[in-house]
Structure 1
Amino acid sequence: MRLLLQVLAICALAFAAPSPRANYVVHERRAAEPVAWTKTRRLEAHKILPLRVGIRQENTHELEEILTSISHPESPTYGQHWSPEKVVEYFSPSQATISTVKRWLIDTGFHPDRIRVSPSKSWIDIAMTASEAESLLDTEYHVYTHPSGHEQIGCESYSLPDHVREHVELIKPTVHFVHRVPDDPALSLKRSTNKLGAPSSYNGPKTNGAQVADALSLATCDKFITPECLRALYSIEYEPIVPHLNSYGIVEFTPQAYLASDLDLFFTNFSKSQIGTRPALVSIDGGIVQTQNQSFDFNGESNLDLEYAMALTNPTPVTLLQTGDLVQGAGFDNWLDAVDKSFCTFQGGDVPNQDGIYPDPAPGGFNESESCGIIKPPNVVSISYGQDESSATVAYATRQCIEYGKLGLMGSTVLYSSGDYGVAGYGGVCLDNNGQPVDGGKKFSPDFPATCPFVTAVGATQINPNSTVNDPESACEQVIYSGGGFSNIFPMPSYQKDAVKSYLKNYPPPYTAEQYNNSGTVRAYPDLSANGANYVVALEGGFSLVFGTSASAPVVGSIITLINDARLAIGKRPLGFINHVIYSPWFSWAFNDITSGGNQGCGTPGFSSTKGWDPVTGVGTPNTKFLLAEFLLLP
């Protein structure tokens, strides 16, 4: 009997022993539940997942301070940008971090030969079955089906051992909900047709279908914006001196593409010397200027961006960063790959649920190596695309935001449009109390990457009806509303603390924490604005009126490009990250303060434009002549 009791006691201890998953802690949860998708089945155990572990980088907590040291106008090291090599070396993960993650994988049963560490040490790649991934991450992968028949996979959350969590930023594919089921284990996961970059009725510029008058002049700028109107509005008088030393990049996502005949039609009417001129094409991951699909949705964005960027900066060459093939398309990380080799798949940031993964063996796909570091970062990059911040996890948004900060360190100005739905998300959709996008939601939905503190977010203004280019503009309230508000992810950067504090004190919004993040401690946007209404755009052999912050961003980019030319002409460096400067009190006189108009959404009037910075138009619109004078005084 005594022996039996001893055996039972040993068994009891064995059953009471901690589970291998007892020390696991949830690392990420899905940011937003998929709308219109139904969970239909558990993912088959044999399906292959190209798992990527994002290793926590060193010194990222110092990024804002370092960026401040080279971009604040009073800093003694202003303009002393870092080399790409220095950036990689400074932020690479520690060997202890890499060893911890590798040891976890090996101890879990993965042979070292299966584990691949990127040259920049920031990612580990290890392909595994769904069954292995579920065991490793203490999760379940499911297949979701859309009424259209498309299928995607995802897990609602995943966990890591407590001692590993501090060394991992994120793991993909997991909680971001944008992938398809791989039919063949040899194929990478493909994104669904719901691409971040793909044109649609909600994430491109807008048109009201109005006819464009035959005779256009400065007298008609309240109805029809042309390059001449913008030059008058923003005192754009400078003509490039050293265009061959300068660079201006415009990012487009295939299948969005310009039509050459439309460029020439536009130039014939507004910039005759450029007839026959084309942007310098940089094909990223098979990006092509496709012509088989022609409509406003397929050509409106690219035509708008290039027609105005090229006309305003003539004769500066404009580089078209055409991103993604026709099969997969692309996401934000893909264009980052092209300008920063350390950010590429296995060397940086691509994730199969957000970005195109290359080589693409699908029929018609770009079946070549991904485009890693194929071009030096342009001095200015303008991107007229975005996504709801609520659709990104904190880890994903933070990791990508850090890369924009690194581009700033290397001397690039990165501009993102702030969105076209005021305080609402795409399509006017707002959030519920849990931060989920729902029809009828009341909580404001900020835009990403515009909320990243290391980009410059550009809002939209308008010339009021029956006003002239000499009258004050207002916030855009025609067809679109300038995106603006307060992030739910990013803390407030130092450069805007005084401006935002002043706004919240002197013009407190009439909303509670149930409607927006009113803590006063988070990133606010936009940073500045430019006209976003009534642009005359050549499209499909005619002219259309186009509206959107999609127009504002390339206009601001053009102005920064002209200022860079003036600095380069006297032996100085390009501006790089400009946010410290534009919030500086010494530069306030160089902006046209916008004090009327709002950005309604979510069943509210939104925020209001006020004296000084506001979450509708930022610090205002640029006066190029004044900005040029100030920027030329900087080192």
Structure 2
Amino acid sequence: MRFLTLPLVFLYILRWAVAKPRILPSLLHEKRNHVPPGWSHSGRHHAMAVLPLRFALSQRNIHTIEHYINDVAHPASPNYGNHWTATQVAEKFTPSHDTIETVKTWLSDNGFGWDRIRVTNLQGWIELNATVQEAEKLLWAEYHVYKHASGKEHISCESYHIPPHVAPHIDFVTPTVHFDVIVSRSPEASHRKIGASGTPINTNMQGRSFNGPKTTGSNSETFNQLDDCDQLITPLCLRALYGLGYKPRATSNNSFAIAEFTPGAYVPSDLDNFGKAYAPDIVGKRPKLVSIDGGTVQAALTGFDYNGESNLDLQYGMALVTGAQNVTLYQLGDSIQHASDNNLLNAFDSSYCGFDGGDDPNIDGIYPDQAPGGYKGKEDCGTVKPANVISISYYYNEADLTPAYTARQCVEFAKLGLMGITVLFASGDNGVAGLINACLNPDGSQSANGRLFNPSFPGTCPYVTSVGATQVNVNSTVYQPESACEQLISSGFLYSGGGFSNHFSIPDYQKDAVQNYLKNYLTPGLPLSYNSTGSRAHPDLSANGAKYAISLQGNFTRVYGTSASTPVVGAILTLINDARLLAGKKPIGFINPAIYSPSFSDAFHDVTNGTNPGCGTLGFNAAKGWDPVTGLGTPNFPKLVEKWLALP
């Protein structure tokens, strides 16, 4: 099985066996080592039940994608900024004729008539409806039924096999080893009124764990903004911290988008209330709504669980780019089924799209949604032009997903980078642990008692920018160094997420920085609880993520987490794009090769204090230069503008 040069875990074992009537050996393609928490085995699936098999075809030239992206994103490259068009991307990576024919012939040789085999329009997938009996014979697998504590049923196998001559042509097959996963939004699920204790909130919205912000006060409390930034973060505090005095002027050519997932929705009156207090120029303004797969700014479900996160993202994203710059809202999925990052990627790239083109029904939203009240319209495939900067605060535990799934999605993010798009993801709020403080066990399962570090995804994809969180220390000012975010909140502790991937190897742009940390600053005596074999490390950079004031239902609430820091970084990069566009240059695109380069070494406020505990350890420590707690540090906007304006 072939996925870039990135994943470390794609070391598949040859299994030689004899199966009647075939005598060819098969290669173990994917294997699941455990049943996820909450699921229990119910029994074998009925032999004559029909499975919608979908074969993800390997794309051409994927093994060279890191070279291509460095060619347009590294500041030392003569082609810096020469981003590709969508047509160029499609032409370079579309599966080859040989791949399509090899897979079709294999299916035909195993008894499936040509009339049953369908290649999708853009040739990325092959579809085949097969009985369980046929699928088990084809894939050397056994399909079982599993039941969730909620009553939901799921069909899965523990492993499946592909012949050696076919394996290089298939990324993965669904449905097979994949299970439903919980997607979480940072920050941690907790909020409280200023000066009062709060109640932990962790509402599971049909498979998605929604984690929201906290309050920094009621409207009756007064704060002196800059004098009290250690207690309450406002847009003024952030402008002082990062040197944001820039007024955007190339706004008609620029774009900044924030993704939200229904039923999460912002409240217009709260946006105005926030604007009156902290950003008068956004009063009356609204984000440009781009509905994807039936996404709506619903108003039926209200309160912190449903409005807190979207309010946070849009209030700060819009305030920091000022009222002069329009902000786009990607609202994804209906209130019944919801959506995933893949649904967003479908809307950008039709070749990635659809159940007949890529989605896994166990993870992604499948549209049209046939459930009562579901979105019955056509799935959005290639209908949206991506914004220059996209901020996304949802994330998974990397261990929730198979390496095949993460690799294919990571390639899609790389394609966006080739086209000059900046994609930001929150690094997580549980330090070196995963969602709900779950850590890994040696067998790959997750539990509160695990001792192996549990990184988040998509932040560990080498082709996105992962954003950690910092804080203004108590009794300190915005003119003093920040520390890594270490906050006691009502649901427990909140720590900036960071660590090392178990799926992806380290990209070239990061090698020197990570090696410097491991050699000189790694905490003495830290147990070998992380992948130390040369893997992608995150976060890449950070911004303040503690004690944000947001308006919620007419009051003000204090919020925490990397979900706060991510749209702030998005706004800062949008302002940098404005400066470049005003100078007749192109957007900055995928920023990692640039920010890790020596020429950008003084463009961040280095954060050297703090840790990110979890899994029974103190985690990693912040240190001089890059570290797996705060990355390269927080943005120094004037320096970043200067350096990016100096590039072609």
Which TM class, normalised by the smaller chain length?
A: over 0.9
> Which residue does 1:276 correspond to in 2?
284
- 1:172-321 counterparts in 2 under 5 A? 172-178=174-180, 194=182, 201=202, 204-208=210-214, 211-212=217-218, 213-314=221-322, 315-321=324-330
Q: Distance in 2 between matches of 1:133 and 1:19?
A: 15
| 1:490 maps to amino acid | F
Provide the aligned length of Structure 1 versus Structure 2.
Answer: 605
Which stretch of structure 1 is more off in the superposition, 404-413 or 533-542? 533-542
Q: Deviations over 1:88-108 (max 9, x none)?
A: 110111111110001111122
SS of residue in 1 equivalent to 2:601: helix
Displacement of 1:17 in angstroms is 9.0
Displacement of 1:356 in angstroms is 0.6
Q: Distance in 2 between matches of 1:46 and 1:541?
A: 57
> Which residue does 2:27 correspond to in 1?
25
- 1:13-162 counterparts in 2 under 5 A? 19-20=21-22, 23-30=25-32, 32-162=34-164
Which stretch of structure 1 is more off in the superposition, 554-563 or 322-331? 322-331
- TM (norm. structure 1) is 0.92
> Which residue does 2:521 correspond to in 1?
507
From 419, 424, 447, the equivalent of 1:415 is 424
Q: Does 1:560 align with 2:573?
A: yes
Aligned 8 A contact 1:483 1:526 in 2: yes
Q: Distance in 2 between matches of 1:123 and 1:513?
A: 43
SS of residue in 2 equivalent to 1:162: coil
> Which residue does 2:401 correspond to in 1?
392
Q: Distance in 2 between matches of 1:90 and 1:346?
A: 23
Q: Percent identity?
A: 53
Change beyond 3 A, Cα 1:31–1:88: farther
Change beyond 3 A, Cα 1:21–1:464: farther
Q: Distance in 2 between matches of 1:313 and 1:119?
A: 40
Displacement of 1:475 in angstroms is 0.1
Q: Distance in 1 between matches of 2:317 and 2:19?
A: 66
Which stretch of structure 1 is more off in the superposition, 499-508 or 22-31? 22-31
> Which residue does 2:13 correspond to in 1?
none
Displacement of 1:354 in angstroms is 1.1
SS of residue in 2 equivalent to 1:523: strand
Displacement of 1:514 in angstroms is 4.2
Which stretch of structure 1 is more off in the superposition, 265-274 or 467-476? 265-274
Q: Distance in 2 between matches of 1:129 and 1:367?
A: 27
| 1:625 maps to amino acid | P
Q: Distance in 1 between matches of 2:433 and 2:591?
A: 27
Q: Distance in 2 between matches of 1:52 and 1:487?
A: 27
Q: Distance in 1 between matches of 2:359 and 2:285?
A: 33
| 1:423 maps to amino acid | V
* Unaligned residue ranges in structure 2 (runs of 5+): 1-17, 190-200, 204-208
From 440, 449, 455, the equivalent of 2:464 is 455
Displacement of 1:233 in angstroms is 0.3
Change beyond 3 A, Cα 1:217–1:513: closer
> Which residue does 2:607 correspond to in 1?
594
Q: Deviations over 1:420-464 (max 9, x none)?
A: 000001011101112221230001001111000000000000000
From 485, 500, 508, the equivalent of 1:486 is 500
Change beyond 3 A, Cα 1:20–1:563: same
Q: Deviations over 1:527-557 (max 9, x none)?
A: 0000000010111221111001001110000
| 1:330 maps to amino acid | A
> Which residue does 1:611 correspond to in 2?
624
> Which residue does 1:166 correspond to in 2?
168
Q: Distance in 1 between matches of 2:23 and 2:260?
A: 44
Which stretch of structure 1 is more off in the superposition, 622-631 or 201-210? 201-210
Displacement of 1:113 in angstroms is 2.2
Q: Does 1:446 align with 2:460?
A: no
Q: Distance in 1 between matches of 2:35 and 2:20?
A: 33
> Which residue does 1:185 correspond to in 2?
none
Aligned 8 A contact 1:32 1:390 in 2: no
> Which residue does 2:482 correspond to in 1?
473
* Unaligned residue ranges in structure 1 (runs of 5+): 1-15, 179-191
Q: Distance in 1 between matches of 2:378 and 2:133?
A: 29
Q: Does 1:350 align with 2:347?
A: no
Change beyond 3 A, Cα 1:210–1:380: closer
Displacement of 1:579 in angstroms is 0.2
- Which structure has the larger Rg over C-alpha atoms? 1
Aligned 8 A contact 1:205 1:546 in 2: no
Which stretch of structure 1 is more off in the superposition, 94-103 or 202-211? 202-211
Q: Distance in 1 between matches of 2:547 and 2:415?
A: 35
Q: Distance in 2 between matches of 1:46 and 1:493?
A: 46
Change beyond 3 A, Cα 1:78–1:330: same
Aligned 8 A contact 2:212 2:309 in 1: no
Displacement of 1:146 in angstroms is 2.3
- TM (norm. structure 2) is 0.90
> Which residue does 2:346 correspond to in 1?
337
Q: Distance in 1 between matches of 2:270 and 2:479?
A: 30
From 560, 579, 601, the equivalent of 1:547 is 560
Q: Deviations over 1:575-606 (max 9, x none)?
A: 10000111112112110000000101011111
SS of residue in 1 equivalent to 2:257: strand
Displacement of 1:208 in angstroms is 5.0
Q: Distance in 1 between matches of 2:131 and 2:601?
A: 57
Q: Distance in 2 between matches of 1:292 and 1:160?
A: 48
Q: Distance in 2 between matches of 1:547 and 1:134?
A: 48
Aligned-residue CA RMSD in angstroms?
1.9
SS of residue in 2 equivalent to 1:364: coil
From 411, 422, 435, the equivalent of 1:402 is 411
> Which residue does 1:518 correspond to in 2?
532
Q: Deviations over 1:285-316 (max 9, x none)?
A: 11111111112121111111111001111221
Q: Distance in 2 between matches of 1:596 and 1:395?
A: 37
Aligned 8 A contact 1:125 1:346 in 2: no
Aligned 8 A contact 2:501 2:536 in 1: yes
| 1:234 maps to amino acid | Y
| 1:552 maps to amino acid | S
Displacement of 1:22 in angstroms is 5.2
Q: Distance in 1 between matches of 2:343 and 2:527?
A: 36
From 402, 427, 430, the equivalent of 2:436 is 427
Change beyond 3 A, Cα 1:488–1:509: farther
Q: Distance in 2 between matches of 1:165 and 1:477?
A: 46
Q: Distance in 2 between matches of 1:110 and 1:568?
A: 54
Change beyond 3 A, Cα 1:104–1:274: same
Hey, which bits of structure 1, 4+ residues long, moved more than 6 A?
197-200
Change beyond 3 A, Cα 1:145–1:17: closer
SS of residue in 1 equivalent to 2:530: coil
SS of residue in 2 equivalent to 1:171: strand
Aligned 8 A contact 2:612 2:618 in 1: yes
Change beyond 3 A, Cα 1:48–1:298: farther
Q: Distance in 1 between matches of 2:366 and 2:306?
A: 22
Q: Distance in 2 between matches of 1:449 and 1:491?
A: 14
Q: Deviations over 1:68-90 (max 9, x none)?
A: 01111111100000000110110
Q: Distance in 2 between matches of 1:600 and 1:543?
A: 30
Q: Distance in 1 between matches of 2:96 and 2:561?
A: 44
Displacement of 1:565 in angstroms is 0.7
Change beyond 3 A, Cα 1:366–1:197: farther
